[in-house]
Amino acid sequence: MDAIPRNRARPTGAEPENGQYPQGADLGECADACEGGPAVSALILRFLAPVVLITLGLAPLPVQATEPAADPAPAADPATGCEADRNGRACLDQAIRLYHGKDIAQDYTASRRFAARACALEEMLGCNYLGALLEDGLGGPVDVPGAVRNYRRACDGGYSGACHNLGQTLYENAVKGSPELADARAAFVKGCEASIPDSCNNYAVMMKFGEGGPQDLVGAVSMFEAVCEEGKNVDACANQGYMLIMGEGIAKDPARAAKLLSGACEQGSTFACDNYGLILVNGLAGDRDPSRAKSLFAAACKSGETNACYNLGEVLIDDLAGAKDLPAARAAYSTACDGGIVSACSKLAQMKFDGQGGPQDRPAARQMYADLCSGGDARSCMTFNVLAELGEGGPRDRAASNHALEKGCSLGHEIACSALKIRQGEK
């Protein structure tokens, strides 16, 4: 069984409350394979990435930002105070009431209007709310550039929660290597300096991957550890656990990783449950416990952790827990494939081709291998090359077979390159 550790980091997300409005995102990136015996193929490191890591994509976690300084009590009638008295605090209070539907009918359009007025009157929390409304398209069209401007204004104006939101929004919409990544990293630094745990986690994720600045594995794992010890960010504990498994920026310590991941799993981190299950199924920190690992994978998969679905399929198809179940394995691979796990798509294609765990469907399998090859999976290029050459699952197609070999070779598959040279010599 292949071991394919995966890093995942993601930015934090939560409903706007007390002015903090983090957004969420998900990214993924493969690392080197785990060492030591059969392993369930994927290991996901979920970073609350700055909105990062890989990037980092779980259910949004609430983030508590530093509370703004106490303001005068809002007017008894916020709408009147805003309209007649140009009271920024009253405008903000009305925007919040309309946003949440507190003692008034929920109205995002009106909330957007009052948030804009509050922002214009130098209420930085109003700028933050306006940014959230613009980013999510509530009360009007989506306007990401406008959201960025308002988050930046609030951040520069002293509202640290907006710095976190600015970082997330910039990160989610940045192109790899773009200047926005450096801005996102700087925004997370500000959020972290203001004691927002999710900002610290996301900053660490960016340090880990060298995004928006130099890579610093030692600094990343140190920050994950510090945030984890504060007990305010379960993803930081999961990320630290991953780095301890992989030995990134710190000596490998599977036993310590197991403790961190187990604790994070108990606190609801599905990717921590997935990674802890990998430790158990491989016996990286003691005796193997495939039955417990299977339960963890199944629960995490059910909760939407697609990498865990792949791992569940591996346990079921290889009979690691003493209960081989091909139909269930096929279903697990299908879920993982739908979630973007390439290895799961390859396993599913193989099961469809062979008729394992369900009906045989060679045409569908052939098309899956073709799609995987086009998407950059060299092994699938080799498989599709054979199917097209032999006419399995469809007509014989030498041109398509040659193209698959060329693609596989361009992706660095040595056998594909050798086969391509031989075939070219036949001409």
What are the backbone angles phi and psi of residue 30, rounded to the nearest 5°?
A: -85, 150
Q: Which CATH superfamily is domain 1-58+159-288 in?
A: Tetratricopeptide repeat domain (1.25.40.10)
Characterise 405 by phi-psi region: left (phi > 0), alpha (psi -120 to 50), beta (else): alpha
Are 334 and 301 in contact by the 8 Å Cβ rule? The answer is no
**Cβ-based neighbour number of residue 36 at 10 Å:** 10
Q: Do domains 1-58+159-288 and 69-145 have the same CATH topology?
A: yes
Of residues 232 and 84, the one with the higher pLDDT is: 232
User: Confidence band (pLDDT; 50, 70, 90) for 362?
Assistant: very high
On whether the CB atoms of residues 124 and 108 are closer than 8 A, the answer is: no
The Cα 164–Cα 83 span in angstroms is 31
pLDDT score at 60: 29
Mean pLDDT of all residues in 354-366: 98
Position 411 pLDDT exceeds 90 = yes
C-alpha closest to that of 131 among 110, 155, 107: 155
Write down the pLDDT at residue 64.
34
Share of the chain above pLDDT 90, in %: 75
DSSP assigned state of 323: -
User: Residue 277 class from Cβ within 10 Å (0-12 exposed, 13-18 middle, 19+ buried)?
Assistant: buried
Please report which confidence band the pLDDT of residue 237 belongs to, taking 50, 70 and 90 as the band edges. Answer: very high
pLDDT tens track for 134-181: 999 999 999 999 999 999 999 999 999 999 999 999 999 998 888 999
- The answer to whether 9 touches 47, Cβ cutoff 8 Å, is yes
- Check whether 43 has a pLDDT greater than 90: no
| Cβ partners under 8 Å of residue 375, min gap 6 | 342
Tell me the CATH number for domain 69-145: 1.25.40.10
Report the pLDDT averaged over residues 27-42: 30
Of 14-18, 52-56, 86-90, 333-337, the poorest mean pLDDT is in: 52-56
**Per-residue pLDDT at 308:** 96
Q: What is the pLDDT of residue 102?
A: 84
Confidence at residue 125, expressed as pLDDT on a 0 to 100 scale: 96
pLDDT tens digits, 112-137: 999 999 999 999 999 999 999 999 99
Name the band, by pLDDT with cuts 50, 70 and 90, for residue 53: very low
pLDDT at residue 427, rounded to an integer:
58
Read off the pLDDT band of 350 (50, 70, 90).
very high
Residue 293's Cβ-side half-sphere holds a number of Cα atoms within 13 Å equal to 33
* Burial track 393-421 (b if 16+ CB lie within 10 A, e otherwise): beeebeebbbbbbbbbbebebeebbebbe
Tell me what the mean pLDDT of segment 380-404 comes to.
97
Give me the pLDDT at residue 321, please.
Answer: 81
| Cα distance between residue 146 and residue 101, in whole Å | 24
pLDDT of residue 238: 96
CA atoms within 13 Å, Cβ hemisphere of 106: 5
Annotated domain spans of the chain: 1-58+159-288, 69-145
Average pLDDT over residues 189-194: 97
Please state the rounded mean pLDDT for residues 355-384. 98
Q: Is 414 left (phi over 0), alpha (psi -120 to 50) or beta?
A: alpha
pTM (two decimals): 0.78
Q: What is the pLDDT of residues 62-104, one digit of tens each?
A: 333 433 333 444 456 788 889 877 899 999 999 999 999 988 9
% of the chain surpassing 70 pLDDT: 82
Give 288 or 59, the one with higher predicted confidence.
288
- Residue 346 has a pLDDT of 97
The pLDDT, as a whole number, for residue 76 is 62
Which has the closest alpha carbon to 292: 272, 269, 276? 276
User: Residue 151's Cα: distance from chain center in Å?
Assistant: 22
Section 230-252 average pLDDT: 95
Q: Are 70 and 38 in contact (CB under 8 A)?
A: no
